[in-house]
Structure formats: structure tokens, C-alpha cells
Structure 1
Amino acid sequence: MGIEVHFTNGLRKIKPYYHSRTCFAKGRWLNRTLLDVLSNEFRTLSRDDYLNRIIQKDFQLIREGEPLSVEQTLNALIQNKDLVKTTDHKHEPPVRQWSADELTTATQIAGMDIIHEDENFLVINKPCGIPVHPTGQYFQNTITEILSGAGKTAFPTHRLDKITSGVLILAKNCYTANKIQAKIRSRDMRKVYLARVRGMFPHASSDIQYFSSDELFQQSDKVTKVDSPIFTVEPKKRFRAGLSPAREATTNFYPIRYIAASDETVVACQPLTGRTHQIRIHLARLGHAISNDPFYNYQNTLYPKRLQFMLDVENWETSGLSENQLSERFHEFVIECEELQKRRTQSEFSEKCMYCGTPSIPDPTPETLELYLHAWKYSDIEGKLSFESALPKWASEHDTK
């Protein structure tokens, strides 16, 4: 049975489905029972939960091509060349609907605009609100799997966050993918993003006029350059592993148009380095966070303590904070996450799936799956490659919302 897709309230949803995968037993698993391995190395579930799932055949041992019985799987010691088969009832989160019919034509694939296509490249205008490739709970609801369903096998050559839209360069072969990735690593690719931010950005004007990507950053006195290190905070990890090393990052910003009615500015962003969430963090540190940023805009964030730390402390390694002070701050971030998760569990996850017991999570709204950050243009310094998308509605001169 194929995947069942349906559309509700501006969301693309996938009916829960069963998915099986196998992997070879690792060396450290040998001469142990599967229940022992699962309950001690994968602590997502309790030992009793894993026991029940083995009884339900969600976990099986495959030996010499044949699945062992439930009793054998529970009692047998894992041997070399054994396979572990896992069957999950997958509940993929919905993504933002980008098309009414997902048709493939000469100019679109699965309802997504094609910017360029030849024997080596497929370049699309990625919709916001959908991951590029399988990750976490997402598999079928991803760009690469949707393209595969439309008959296109292509490999992403660069990152683009789930809620970010714009130019996505996919390669049709490994040689081309490696070539583009090498250009990005050596900073031979010029990237221009568009963002819509809070407040009147430095040197911004409310004059509405046509603008092209080639004309931006030409007036050096209008450029705002930000040099500040970027690091990540991951409360799910332990201190210090949850604080990544701070890495130097540089972004140039150029104001395009100030929108007085909403006190916002459309800004062009040119990242000269490629750190995680670099543009979003640099804009927030300037006091001009992206208007609808769910994390780095203080008016929207659910993690105010973590955000304040990332805005105040550019480099935690040279901040002057002692080991104890850093540990205490990190513990605050952990508590902040746990309390939010607890509130969500108590208020939202009331119903459970009758087949697997997965909590029923309320759908997001389409608005929460959109970020006013758009990858507008990618080009190489040699002038051989240049890909530019259409303007997003929130940045165009005729439609500022």
C-alpha cells in the first residue's frame, strides 16, 4: 500500500504508516539478548515497553535470512551476522502545503517551481515549512522523497532549514554534488538571502523601488557588517558537550525597503561564512530579529533564557564566565526545555494512537512553518553558475505581507 497524502487547513499530511528497516548487529551486542541491548543502549522506552514491542514483533532477530520467533528473539544471544529488524508505526509531522495539486510540468516539479534543470543540476525554489531530506520524524514529507516520487533522484548540495525558502541546488550525480560542496567549503559561492526584520534597519528608506540582486551591496556606506562568533546550545546533551565551540562568522547586510506601516525592513543578507543560523543570530544581535522568527525573536521565543545567553555572550569560551557559572546557566536551559515539554505533555498530548500508543500532537498552523528568510541567489565567483529565485510575497514591492 502506498503512502496516503491529504491536505487540511494549509498543511500537507501523511496518514500514519508502518515502516520496517534492518541493520547488522554491532560487535558489542554479541552474546547479549536483544532486550538487554535495547533497554540499555536505547533508553527512549522502558524495559517493559521494549518487551511488549518484541512480543508485538516490532523488534525481531533475523538469522540466516529467517526471522526468529518471539520466544527465540527474547531468549537467543545475538550472534555475528544477525540482523535486527525494526518495524515502526510512523507518525510524520505535517508540513506546509505549497501547491493545490503538486503537478509536474515543464516549469514545475511536484508543484515546486524549477529555477534551472540540465543533465547535472535540478535547482528549485524550495517552499518554506518542509525539510530538505529525511531527518528525525520526517521521511516522506521531505523534498528529496517528494522529488523521488516524481521520478527525480537528486542530491542536495547545501543546507536550507525546514522553515527557510528559496534556491535549493540539487545535483543529479555525485561528481556535481562534490563539485558544488567543494565550492561552498572554499567560499567560492556567493549567497544572497532576503529577510524581513523588526524595526528600521540602519540606512533604510521607505522609497518603494525595483531592486535586483546585482545592484545590492554596491553602496558601501549602506552596508552593515557583523563579525561575531556563532555557537549552538543543545540542552539534550550534557554540559559541556551541549555547547559547541564558538566559530568566527561574518555577514553583510544591506537595507532594501522600510515598511512604515508595520515598522519592518526588508534586508538583503550576504553570509561570508556558513555557520548554523548565522543570519538569524546576527540580525537578532543587531536588535533587528526576523519578524516571525520562532526562536531568535524575543517576542516569539519559547526559550527566553537560552536566547538571551546567545545574544549577550558571543563566545562562551572567552566570556569570562567560570566553569561553575557556565554549568549553572546550562542547567537553566535544560530546566527551561523540560518545563516546556512538561506543559505540552499535560495540555496537548491527551489522545494516543490505538496501534502504537504514540501521543497525538496538535497540528501546527501554516504561519508557524514560515520564516521570513529566503535564499534568493547562489552564484560562483567565476561567473559560471548563477541561480536566482522569484521574490517571496513578503518581500515583493507590491505585496508586503
Structure 2
Amino acid sequence: MDFNLPNNKIILTKKPEVIFSKGLRKIKPFYDVRKCTLKGRFFNKTLLQILTDEFRLKNQEEHASDIKNGKYKIYKHLKKAELEEVLAANPNYSNEISAYQDIVSYFFKQNDYYTVSQHKHEPYSLQWSKDEKTDFGNNIICGMDILENNDEYIVVDKPAGLIVHPSASYYENSLTNVLFHGTGQKFYSTYRLDKVTSGVLALGKTSAGAKKFHENILNKNCFKYYLAKVRGQFPGEPMGMDIFTELSNEKEIQGPDQEDFPFKTKIIETSPIYQIDTKILFPKAFSDPKTAESHFQLVSYNKESNESLVLCRPITGRQHQLRIHLLRLGYPIPGDFFYDPENTFYPKKIDFIAKNNDYREKYANIGMLEPLFEDFRKEFLDLVMAEPENGAEYCSECGAQEYSDPPIDEMRIYLHSFRYRIVETEENKKDLCFQTNLPTWAAQFRVV
């Protein structure tokens, strides 16, 4: 089976074996072959160069050993005329390159690709249902609540601890593949929610159904509201849980000029968003800062825990936008292992992101950032390359270290996509409004 990566449409046809254990959803390891297409920067490079430069958790000798052991194959691309010519000369011609010396001496050209074969061990997801049953009569699909369901799309309440679509690490422990194996239907993601974030998520049943959501997001023709629990007393006059509940029950809001939740003491954060990916090479590791705007309104403050419930409205849609903006405001989401300074796995990198809204202002020459990047990368590698815990188990088939059970609290955060409203542009058509129940962790702010 061939799969193009990165891709949000990867679907394996064989249903995996799922194991539930200690609140985790585990996939029994399976054999997998992936087709990997090439980015422009890979042209005129060998596979060994690419692997060594891009996947630095292994050194060149280890990647060479994988090639010798048959893990990789290369497939040359030929234009139709070229293919006809070589087949005429040799009817048994194959564009597959599999011998070690041939692989390491071949320089990639446009439209070539390679495959990687491996015994796939997937990281775990959180268990959200005891049986993942589907009961459309009761608005349940694979154990998830259905908020809307029609011929074009379905809207679900995504559980925390589950990635939306397959990635390099997660295949079967992804929402789109869970739905496929549970219903036999293919679903198309329309926008993403972080793995650790729960709440409203729309998926197209057709590419046309997904396109409607894509267009409205791009045109900013929608209102998105999140709930976050943050550390400290967030500034502003609290809306109050009673008013928030009353407004939540009003789902007939219409038009682009009407806000679902008026923010009377609105806190606005407009700092740019960027990422620092320590898994790739400098300077590509620093993404370009992109403008971002978020609005926040205090809903309620719990003095006993010194925590606030905050209603968030992202005006733009950047990766980790709300989490980063709350960090920069000084009110991080407690327990966020990325952006909570008290719990982060990456304190140096996150301190830099918190204090440098746009790194170009202080570092006009990006080369100045290389020493800092090496610190960030060491921070990452120290975490990844930490000595195995006592009693670590290894796979009897491939020798890989088995995943250990992660702490449940590291797989979810106090951020929830609560309401999503799409403004209808056609006359006499109501806006589409999708809303979940309050997340359980918001119970501490309820009116008693």
C-alpha cells in the first residue's frame, strides 16, 4: 500500500487491533509501507543526504544501515515517451531502485519518490469511550457526540488526546481513520484542532462539503469561541457564569455584525505567531512570524484555585495561537507542557517565544539566532534521548523500544472549542451554529 505524506487523507484499509489500557487507546504494532513524495529542496540530493539532514535523531551510519536492511526503495519518474522507449528496449524494465549502492549513489529528480517500510509503533491516544460504538439515532459516532450530521458534513465534539488526521507518527490513532474504520466512510478534515484540544470539529463527507468550511475560514466568515482555564486572575470585569449560560442558550444569532458573546471588557492580543521546529535544520526551523489577533473575555475567577475561566475568540487562525497569546499576556493554561512556563518540556524555547513577539525585530540577521537554536535543539534532544526507564520493553520483531504509558494530564489541556458559527451569505438562510456542552473541567466555575 502506498501513502503520500504529509497528507490528511491517509487511510489504511485493514482495521487495526485496538487495545484499551489505563485510560489509553493503543494500536497493536503493524507493518506499513509509505510512499514519500519529495519537496523541492530534496532535488539533486541522495536519499542518505536527505535522511541525515532531515531526520537527525539517527546519524548517517544508522540511516545507511536502514537502507542496507531494505527499509527504503526509490522509484524513478519517467515521462510517458521515456517510459515507452525504455520498455521497447527492455520489456522487463522496472523503475524501482533497491540495491544499497544504487540507492546511495542516486540523485533525486522531480517527481521521483521513495518508500519506507517499517514495523509501525504508534504513540497512544486518550481513551474517550469504552467501546467506540456508533448509534446515529442517539447522535453518537465512534463514541463521540454528533452536533450536526447531513449529506455534506458531520460536526462532532472531538475528544482531547486525539489527533485529527494522520501524521508521521499517528495513523490509526487519528480521528479521520477512527471514523473510517468505525463507519466505512471517508471523512475530510476542514480545519485542525490540536491533539490536546477538545470541542467542535467539522469534517466533510465529500470534498465539496469540506470546501464550504475552508472557504468560510479563509474569508473569516465565521465566529469561533473557545473556553480556556488559565492561571491567575485574568484582567477585566467577569461576565459571570449565569450570563454566559444565558448567552450559550441563545443559538439564533444571525449575521456578521452580531457577536454571540459580547466582550464588555475585551482584552486584545495582536502579536505575531511563529514556530521553532527543533526537528529540522537551522534556519528553516524558524517559521516566518505571521500576524495574529485574539480577543479574550473573563467569564469567572476561582479565588480558591487562583484560576480563571476565559472566553477566547481567535480572529486569525495560526498554529497554537491562543496558547501563545495567553502565555504572552501572562496567563498561561496550567499544565500545558508546551506553553506553561511552570510545566513546559522546553523552557528555553518557550521563554524566547514569550519574550520575542517577532524575532526579526531583535535579530534582523537570522544567523544571529543559530547559537540560541543550538540551545533549543539540545533541550529537545536531551528530552528525546533520555535514558530508557528501568524495565523499558523492546519489540521482539523490530527491536524498537515500546512506548511507555504517558501521564494522562500530558495528553490534554484546558482549552475547548465551544462554539462555531458560520454566517450564511444567502438570504433567508439561517447561520450555522454548532455548540458543545461545557467541558467537565469548567465545573469549578459553575454557579451553585
Task: Specify if TM > 0.5.
Answer: yes
Q: Among 433, 436, 444, which residue is 1:386 paired with?
A: 433
2:141 is the counterpart of 1:97: no
Q: Could you tell me which amino acid in structure 2 is paired with residue 278 of structure 1?
A: Q
Pair 1:18 & 2:31 matched: yes
Contact 2:188–2:210 under 8 Å retained in 1: yes
State how far apart, in whole Å, the 2-side matches of 1:297 and 1:351 are: 31
2:20 alignment counterpart = 7
Q: CA deviation at 1:4?
A: 1.2
State whether structure 2 residue 184 is matched by structure 1 residue 133.
Answer: no
Contact 1:129–1:370, Cα closer than 8 Å, also in 2: yes
Alignment match, 2:247: 212
2: CA distance, partners of 1:235 / 1:96: 26
In the alignment, what sits opposite 1:164? 197
Task: Please state if 1:202 is matched with 2:232.
Answer: no
> Aligned equivalents of 1:328 and 1:73: distance in 2?
40
- Per-residue deviation at 1:248? 1.4
Shift of 1:178: 1.8
Q: 1:257 Cα shift? A: 1.3
Higher mean C-alpha displacement, 345-354 vs 265-274? 345-354
Change (3 A) 1:321 1:57: closer
| Per-residue deviation, 1:341 | 2.5
Shift of residue 82 of structure 1? 9.5
**Structure 2 counterpart of 1:88:** 118
Query: 1:216, CA displacement in angstroms?
Result: 5.8
Q: 2 CA distance for matches of 1:170 and 1:266?
A: 28
1:56-76 deviation per Cα after TM superposition (whole angstroms, max 9, x unaligned): 554457898999999x73466
Contact 2:349 2:376 in 1 (8 A): yes
Match for residue 41 of structure 1 among 17, 34, 50: 50
Alignment of 1:253-268 (within 5 A): 253-268=296-311
What one-letter code is carried by the residue in structure 2 that aligns with 1:136? Answer: A
For the Cα contact (< 8 Å) 1:393–1:399, is it kept in 2? no
Using the aligned pairs only, state the percent identity.
Answer: 34
1:145 to 2:177 alignment: yes
- Could you tell me which residue of structure 2 aligns to residue 122 of structure 1? 154
Q: Hey, what's the Cα distance between the residues in 2 that align with 1:129 and 1:144?
A: 14
Asked if 1 retains the 8 angstrom alpha-carbon contact of 2:247 and 2:260, the reply is: yes
2:337 counterpart of 1:294: yes
Greater shift, 232-241 or 39-48, is seen at: 39-48
In the alignment, which residue of structure 2 is the partner of 1:355? 397
Is 1:349–1:361's contact at 8 Å kept on the other side of the alignment?
A: no
Matched, 1:304 2:347: yes
- For 1:267 and 1:112, the matched residues in 2 are separated by 25
Change (3 A) 1:40 1:381: same
Unmatched 5+ residue regions in structure 1? none
Would you say the 8 A contact 1:60–1:67 is kept in 2? no
Q: 1:188 touches 1:381 (CA, 8 Å); kept in 2?
A: yes
Q: What is the letter of the counterpart of residue 149 of structure 1?
A: H
**Segment drifting more, 97-106 vs 388-397:** 388-397
Shift of 1:329: 2.2
Q: Structure 1 CA distance, aligned partners of 2:41 and 2:336?
A: 44
Count, aligned residues: 393
Q: Which residue of 2 aligns with 1:174?
A: 207
Contact 2:363 2:369 in 1 (8 A): no
1:73 corresponds to which residue? 99
> Secondary structure of 2:135's partner?
coil
Is the alpha carbon distance of 1:313 and 1:102 closer, same or farther for their aligned partners in structure 2, counting shifts above 3 Å? same
Q: 1:58 to 1:334 in 2, by over 3 A?
A: closer
| Offset of residue 146 of structure 1 | 0.6
> What is the SS of the residue equivalent to 1:294?
coil
After superposition, give the CA deviation of every residue in 1:293-327 in whole Å (9 maximum; x if it has no partner): 11111111121111111111111111366656433
- Runs of 5+ consecutive residues of structure 2 not aligned to the other structure: 1-13, 77-90, 251-258, 425-429
Partner AA of 2:99 in structure 1: T
Alignment-derived partner of residue 216 in structure 2: 183
CA distance in 2, matches of 1:366, 1:203: 33
Q: Which structure 2 residues correspond to residues 211-290 of structure 1 after superposition, within 5 A?
A: 211-213=246-248, 217-220=261-264, 222-290=265-333
Distance 1:267 1:29 in 2: 45
What is the alpha-carbon distance in structure 2 between the residues aligned to residue 251 and residue 24 of structure 1?
36
Aligned residue type for 2:439: P
Q: CA deviation at 1:198?
A: 0.6
CA contact (8 A) 1:206 1:259 kept: no
Displacement of 1:194 in angstroms is 0.6
Q: TM-score, with normalisation over the residues of structure 1?
A: 0.86
**TM-score relative to the length of structure 2:** 0.77
Return the alpha-carbon distance in structure 1 between the equivalents of residues 344 and 40 of structure 2.
44
Distance 2:72 2:65 in 1: 10
Residues 254 and 85 of structure 1: CA distance in aligned 2, closer, same or farther (over 3 Å): closer
